[in-house]
């Protein structure tokens, strides 16, 4: 075979499209799930080009001859017969409809087959005309859900996920550091506030050579177009339409500049209103004392907040939802910091669906300076390819300890055990009891009713051996997560001594910060985990910490800031209490 047109991620994306369209077309479960499994295998495999060259595609989990042929076709032509055929039946805009939360694949299928609803515009029209509400089995609540889903979908359009935006921001900062001299240089805006998605990337910088910096910035090789270019600011567009704004000002106002462009808009408006009552006018150029006409410039953000007579507010808390009052009363929590983290409870190796070997994962965790960590593979219900049976669990345990000792990192033997549809666990209690710590996660039957899901999660909390509920809402990219009675589950978690995870995997960030903030009110303990499926993804724990900060969590509320012995005590306490 000659060149490959598509890489792993693109092929996986197309396989997932096939999967969705097959389900839409009414194909049986086992058939379309085969493509989902194949997509996941490709995402986690080495470069396709090499696999194909070595004729090793069929060695991947869940990939037989026919799917392998589809994958090779995709690589070679960038397209395949199967997807072309399916695309004839469904227009590409059907994915807009599928992206609206509140609409499952079944509903989308019915809406398309019977009413020709094939795009977001069609769907909006059906809602507005009242046609949707007139359909059988379409209650008021479902219509409301779909309405909200449409709004959320539109809001998400053209926004970039936090993890991806951070990588681009680091690249552009590195590029700028190599250019004309700058004093201070960082990112601001929603990215610095660690919002789950960002509209654009805002870079602020101080330099006495603004013109040269701007000129260098717009010449970045990844800029597809220059949107604006002035003496102190410029905007560029990258491939795919992501915008980067740059502002350059003198170093004396760096604090004012950074504070202004970190936002949020709501936070800044409220801050200014409060400042005006104190006789101060706040802007990106400084703080003006209205009575004297004196201008206060701030080299740091801390000075800005001090000048307005309030406690420093960390960027992650600047949402304009009451933080200004709390800062005036000097009662902000001391937020958890990345340096407080002593370990990571959630990661996978090649023993389940991870991409790197057990030894690599443990060595990489040790290299991050962690005191402890746990490898938490999937339980056997995930199927023989990804899930481990109890014998494999025991075999792995010996290896984990062996590598751990060699690398002087404490190891907790763990598992990410499926919470079955009835709330029981995918291993028996006696197998669960052998683990040092257990994560319980929902991966199947996501379409249960709210009531069933609530009971399911509460029952998992009540299991004496379940210590952490993994990615509790199941949110993933544009899927908003399954619905359950949040308060009831949070209360159960607090009552039973079960921690709730803030999963840092890029698509997840689950619990979402607003729900974590709510759970905190119930006295819940949290974990911040990477859920890494490759060594490089261990860094995703940073994203989890950023979301914990947005939720206003302190280190005391997060289990993996505690020592190894304290973690053991947390586990023991629950076993004694509920066993």
263/343 with CB nearer ligand DGT: 263
Q: CB under 5 A: which stretch of 141-149, 327-335, 433-441, 563-571 binds Zn ion?
A: 433-441
**Structure-token match 């890494």, residue found:** 532
For 291, how many CA atoms within 13 A lie in the half-sphere containing its CB? 5
Nearest-CB residue for Zn ion: 441
Distance CA 307, CA 90 (A): 60
31 near ligand DGT (CB under 6 A): no
Q: Which phi-psi region, left, alpha or beta, contains residue 279 (left: φ > 0; alpha: ψ -120 to 50)?
A: left
CB within 8 Å of 176: residues ≥ 6 apart: 182, 185, 203, 205, 213, 216, 217
202 near Ca ion (CB under 5 A): yes
Residue 2: φ, ψ to 5°: -80, -125
Distance CA 193, CA 268 (A): 13
Q: CB under 5 A: which stretch of 2-10, 43-51, 124-132, 198-206 binds Ca ion?
A: 198-206
Contact (Cβ atoms closer than 8 angstroms) between residue 41 and residue 62 = yes
Q: Which residues from 231-270 bind Ca ion, rule CB under 5 A?
A: 245
Instruction: Give the residue among 170, 300, 185, 169 at the shortest CA–CA distance from 242.
Output: 169
463 near Zn ion (CB under 5 A): no
Q: Which residues from 190-229 bind ligand DGT, rule CB under 6 A?
A: 190, 195, 198-200, 202
Instruction: Give the residue among 366, 44, 384, 546 at the shortest CA–CA distance from 375.
Output: 366
Tell me the helix, strand and coil percentages in the chain, rounded to 5.
Answer: 50, 15, 35
Q: CB under 6 A: which stretch of 53-61, 66-74, 103-111, 187-195 binds ligand DGT?
A: 187-195
Of positions 8, 364, 441, 498, contacts Zn ion by CB under 5 A: 441
Nearest-CB residue for ligand DGT: 263
Q: Which does residue 441 bind out of Ca ion, ligand DGT, Zn ion, none, counting CB within 5 to 8 angstroms by kind?
A: Zn ion
Structure tokens at 352: 């389940």
Q: How far is the CB of 12 from Zn ion (least distance, A)?
A: 17
315 near Ca ion (CB under 5 A): no
Q: How far is the CB of 191 from ligand DGT (least distance, A)?
A: 7
148/443 with CB nearer Zn ion: 443
Residue 486: φ, ψ to 5°: -55, -50
Q: CB under 5 A: which stretch of 8-16, 56-64, 199-207, 552-560 binds Ca ion?
A: 199-207
Instruction: Give the residue among 125, 134, 191 at the shortest CA–CA distance from 164.
Output: 191
Q: Which does residue 426 bind out of Zn ion, Ca ion, ligand DGT, none, counting CB within 5 to 8 angstroms by kind?
A: none
Q: 230-252 burial string, b = 16+ CB within 10 Å, else e?
A: eeebbbbbbeeebbbbbbbbebe
202/436 with CB nearer Ca ion: 202
270/441 with CB nearer Zn ion: 441
Q: CB under 5 A: which stretch of 37-45, 186-194, 220-228, 436-444 binds Zn ion?
A: 436-444
For 245, how many CA atoms within 13 A lie in the half-sphere containing its CB? 13
Q: CB under 5 A: which stretch of 195-203, 399-407, 467-475, 514-522 binds Ca ion?
A: 195-203
303 near Ca ion (CB under 5 A): no
Q: Which residues from 236-255 bind ligand DGT, rule CB under 6 A?
A: none
Residues near ligand DGT (CB under 6 A):
189-190, 195, 198-200, 202, 260-261, 263-265, 268
């Amino acid at each position: 075979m000659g060149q490959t047109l598509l890489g792993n991620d693109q092929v996986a994306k197309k396989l997932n499209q096939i999967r969705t369209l097959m389900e839409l077309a009414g194909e049986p479960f086992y058939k379309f799930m085969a493509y989902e499994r194949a997509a996941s295998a490709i995402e986690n495999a080495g470069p396709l080009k090499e696999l194909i060259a070595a004729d090793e595609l069929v060695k991947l989990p869940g990939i037989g001859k026919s799917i392998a042929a589809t994958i090779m076709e995709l690589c070679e032509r960038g397209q395949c017969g199967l997807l072309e055929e399916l695309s004839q039946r469904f227009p590409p805009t059907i994915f807009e409809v599928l992206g609206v939360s509140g609409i499952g694949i079944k509903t989308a299928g019915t809406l398309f087959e019977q009413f020709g609803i094939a795009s977001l515009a069609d769907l909006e029209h059906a809602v507005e005309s009242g046609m949707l509400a007139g359909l059988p089995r379409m209650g008021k609540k479902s219509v409301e859900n779909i309405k909200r889903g449409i709004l959320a979908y539109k809001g998400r359009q053209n926004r970039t996920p936090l993890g991806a935006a951070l990588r681009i921001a680091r690249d552009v900062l590195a590029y700028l550091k190599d250019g004309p001299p700058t004093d201070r240089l960082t990112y601001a805006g929603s990215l610095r506030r660690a919002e789950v998605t960002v509209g654009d990337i805002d870079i602020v910088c101080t330099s006495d050579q603004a013109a040269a910096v701007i000129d260098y910035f717009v010449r970045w090789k990844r800029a597809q177009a220059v949107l604006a270019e002035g003496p102190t600011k410029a905007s560029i567009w990258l491939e795919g339409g992501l915008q980067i704004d740059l502002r350059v000002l003198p170093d004396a106002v760096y604090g004012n500049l950074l504070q202004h462009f970190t936002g949020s808009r709501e936070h800044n408006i409220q801050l200014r209103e409060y400042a005006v009552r104190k006789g101060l006018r706040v802007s990106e150029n400084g703080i003006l004392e209205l009575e004297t006409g004196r201008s206060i410039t701030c080299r740091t953000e801390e000075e800005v907040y001090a000048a307005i007579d309030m406690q420093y507010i960390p960027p992650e808390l600047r949402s304009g939802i009451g933080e200004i009052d709390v800062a005036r009363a000097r009662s902000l929590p001391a937020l958890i910091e990345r340096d407080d983290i002593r370990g990571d409870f959630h990661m996978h190796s090649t023993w389940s669906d991870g991409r790197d070997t057990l030894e690599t994962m443990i060595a990489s965790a040790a290299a991050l300076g962690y005191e402890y960590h746990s490898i938490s593979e999937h339980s056997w219900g995930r199927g023989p390819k990804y899930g481990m049976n109890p014998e494999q669990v025991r075999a792995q345990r010996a290896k984990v300890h062996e590598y751990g000792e060699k690398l002087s990192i404490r190891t907790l033997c763990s598992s990410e055990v499926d919470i079955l549809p009835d709330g029981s666990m995918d291993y028996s209690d006696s197998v669960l009891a052998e683990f040092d710590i257990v994560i319980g996660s929902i991966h199947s039957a996501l379409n249960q009713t709210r009531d069933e899901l609530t009971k399911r999660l509460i029952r998992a909390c009540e299991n004496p051996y379940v210590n952490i509920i993994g990615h509790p809402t199941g949110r993933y990219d544009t899927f908003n997560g399954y619905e359950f009675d949040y308060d009831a589950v949070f209360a159960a978690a607090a009552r039973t001594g079960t921690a709730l995870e803030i999963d840092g995997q890029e698509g997840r960030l689950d619990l979402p910060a607003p729900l974590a903030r709510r759970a905190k009110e119930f006295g819940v303990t949290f974990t911040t985990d990477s859920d890494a499926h490759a060594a490089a993804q261990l860094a995703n724990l940073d994203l989890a910490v950023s979301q914990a900060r947005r939720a206003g969590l302190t280190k005391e509320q997060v289990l993996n800031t505690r020592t190894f012995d304290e973690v053991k005590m947390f586990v023991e306490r629950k076993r004694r209490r509920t066993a």
